[in-house]
Amino acid sequence: MLIVLAKCKVGADAAAAAKAAIADMVAASNAESGCIAYAFTQDVLDPSVLHIVEKWQDDAALAAHFATPHMAAFGAAIAGLDFQVIEATKYSADDGTALM
């Protein structure tokens, strides 16, 4: 399994302006074959920071994700906004164990 953690810096109005595009991206990504989980969250201490948390079955599923029409549509939707991915890291992981 792969885990992708990304961090975005957004301008004051960019998160609100991108909300529909983010919702579409999350819904479409979660429907992809090979996607285990996909979510955006807003940092509670700094609302100008968004986090993207993704879980994928393997590298092939992640590569297919980057080639989807909804990924291109999301890129187009945020292109004119103050919205910048400042960090993105991919980790390899096992299936994990419950903590509780």
pLDDT in tens, 41-77: 999 999 999 999 999 999 999 999 999 999 999 999 9
Please check whether residue 40 lies inside any domain of the structure: yes
Please check whether residue 98 lies inside any domain of the structure: no
Q: Containing domain of residue 78, as a range?
A: 2-92
Domains in the chain, number: 1
Please check whether residue 61 lies inside any domain of the structure: yes
Return the CATH number at 61. 3.30.70.100
pLDDT confidence band for 12 (50 / 70 / 90): confident
Please check whether residue 57 lies inside any domain of the structure: yes
Determine the pLDDT at residue 15. 87
- Whether the pTM exceeds 0.95: the reply is no
pLDDT at 40 exceeding the cut of 90: yes
Please check whether residue 62 lies inside any domain of the structure: yes
Strand 83-92: give its sheet, edge to edge. 35-42, 49-56, 2-10, 83-92
